[in-house]
A and B are shown apart, each in its own frame.
Chain A
Amino acid sequence: MDEKVPRSNIIETEIPMGTVHPAALEPYRVRFFVEDEIVQEAEITIGVNHRGIERIMEGLPVEKANSLTEKICGICSNSHIWNSCRTAEIGLGIEIPERANYIRVIMGELERLHSHFLYLAHGCEVLSHETFSMRVFYLREIVMELLAMIGGNRVQYGCSVLGGVRPRCDLDEAKLLRLKEDMDKLEEGLTGFVERFINDSIVMSRITGIGVLPQKQAIELAVTGPTLRATGVARDLRTTMFEYDDFDFNVITQPDGDVKSNLVMRALESFESIKIIRQAIANIPEGKIVNRDWEMFDTDIIESYIEVPRGTLYHSYALESGRVRHCIIRTPSMANIGAMQYACIGDQITDAQLCIVQCDPCFTCTDRAIEIIRR
């Protein structure tokens, strides 16, 4: 299949879902146009969650604005504060100590683990396979407790500050030891889960070939992150980020772009994250965790892209006497909405919600004020 074409001219029935719907935790609205129970076109409407974080950030001191970016999303909160600090660091030319860099990578990968586990658990729940869902939720608790141990909170841990990480997040011997032990536990649990999941013929027959997103179309829609890699394109921003220079990891891809590829991709990517955390624990350098030796000056608009669990995250702002101006944030789910709409086409209406969930939606981050400029 090269391309999926929506057939918007023949609309027999419309099935709306939302804004509050059991399968999707977040409020959003989706309209399915259905013929003989086959989805012909899907249309996702967001905007229910819009709160205007960029507007609040405008004119705040940059340190305050950084910690505010955490409140954009409760799943990938660390990515937002990391990228926001990184933006200012690029603009002001602040050098980050090596140890702080390692701690940031550890937090980033732990967050990727908890996000992917949440995805797997939620995916299995939408599949109505509660046993698998519970197993992954149980594994996820290990990661959540590690995050609470390092950052002091289970969800928003505020690890990065301008120039490094905050003192609470420094890793001593005991914390490193626990991190190491829990990684072993996690790998064992995940291996068991993946073996059971892949060898379960009932689940596999349910998810193979469902919600296919063709590779050509994925590239056309500018899909990012694991959803793109599940269609066979090896594109990962971590390979170009200087933070990950010291680490050795593989970019995982899957061939088909269906629900099976997506689920298996996330599971295999979690193993890579465990690998990165192990390398970080083994090689973590001694030294300072924060660089306070920098000066504030006015800058032009600064841009920063990083790879977060769901794809590419973009932050940009200018600094004017220490305050944030012209803040723009673009989250990965924004790009993936197109993928969600196209993945449903041609499948049964009962699988439609699964096809949306396979693209790992996070509509809370996505509700930003956007302006499309056509040139």
Chain B
Amino acid sequence: MGIKSFSRARAIHVMLVYTGGCNGCDIEIVNSILSPRFDAEQYNVFLTWNPREADVLVVTGPVTHLNRKPLEEIYNAIPNPKLVVAAGSCALMGGVYKNCYGDIPSEEIEGPVENIIPVNAKIPGCAVRPQDVLAGVVSLLPILLDAD
């Protein structure tokens, strides 16, 4: 383990980007990391809002048209190595919003997240349970720690 990985293992920073879902997953994720009940901070996982500081990007929501560019910009701003977690059924497959115009492709919804940025882990659920979010983020940590 290099010195970078050694220090990274002691402060994993998760950034949450919210791209137009229903707010449910969003609050559950903030809950899972911040709230004293689940408390991811005891595993040295912290929530950040600065992409330059983040290691893991958690994306929720079907990506709406206006949210596509901010999402790409945030993804590009995160330094390597970076991981992306798609959380919730909207981020995984567009949810109930994806085919809202039947056979005609929707211009409103750009998702799922895979279409826009590469995804490393997927967390299903509508809304995701905090336990699942913790399991998803923790399952990615080996990739992050073996990076250099």
Contact = CB atoms under 8 A, between A and B. Distances in A.
A153 B127 contact: yes
Contacts of B37: 137-138, 141
Interface of B is mostly: mixed
Contact of B66 (A47, A72, A75): A47
Given A48-B64, A137-B36, A156-B126, A74 B22 contact: yes
Contact of A51 (B18, B24, B64): B64
Interface in A1-33: 19-22, 25-27
A127 interface: no
In this complex, which of A27, A55, A73, A134 has the most chain B Cβ atoms within 10 angstroms of its Cβ?
A27
A362 interface: yes
Contacts of B34: 133-134, 137
B75 to A, nearest CB: 12
A362 B24 contact: no
A28 B17 CA distance: 13
A154 interface: yes
A27 B35 contact: no
Contacts of A75: 23-24, 27
B127 A56 contact: no
B51 to A, nearest CB: 9
Given A56-B96, A77-B22, A154-B129, A51 B109 contact: yes
B127 A137 contact: no
B78 to A, nearest CB: 13
Nearest to B24: A74
Contacts of B127: 74, 153-156
A144 B62 CA distance: 25
Contacts of A155: 24-25, 27-28, 127
A151 to B, nearest CB: 12
A27 B24 contact: no
A51 B62 contact: yes
B44 to A, nearest CB: 18
The interface centre, meaning the residue of A19, A68, A156 with most chain B CB atoms within 10 A of its CB, is A19
Given A26-B23, A27-B20, A48 B66 contact: yes
A49 interface: yes
Contacts of B18: 20, 25-27
A72 B21 CA distance: 8
Nearest to B109: A51
A22 B53 CA distance: 13
A71 B96 contact: yes
Interface of A: 19-22, 25-27, 47-53, 55-56, 68, 71-75, 77, 118, 133-134, 137-138, 140-141, 144, 153-156, 362, 364, 367
Contacts of A141: 31, 35-37
18 contacts: A19-B66, A20-B70, A25-B18, A26-B26, A27-B20, A49-B64, A51-B62, A53-B97, A56-B97, A72-B22, A74-B23, A137-B35, A138-B36, A144-B31, A155-B24, A156-B22, A362-B23, A364-B22
A364 B108 contact: no
Contact residues on B (Cβ < 8 Å of other chain), bracket: 35 or more
A48 B20 contact: yes
A71 B100 contact: no
A364 B19 CA distance: 10
B77 to A, nearest CB: 11
B35 A71 contact: no
A135 B109 CA distance: 37
Nearest to A114: B27
B96 to A, nearest CB: 5
Contacts of A55: 100-101
A75 B126 CA distance: 13
Given A74-B27, A154-B129, 13 more contacts: A26-B26, A27-B19, A51-B20, A51-B64, A55-B101, A134-B34, A138-B37, A141-B35, A141-B37, A144-B31, A156-B22, A364-B22, A364-B23
Closest 5 CB pairs of A and B: A74-B24, A22-B49, A74-B23, A155-B127, A155-B24
A362 B18 CA distance: 13
A55 B95 CA distance: 15
Interface in B44-72: 49, 62, 64, 66-67, 70
Contacts of B28: 154-155
B30 interface: yes
Interface in B120-136: 126-127, 129-130
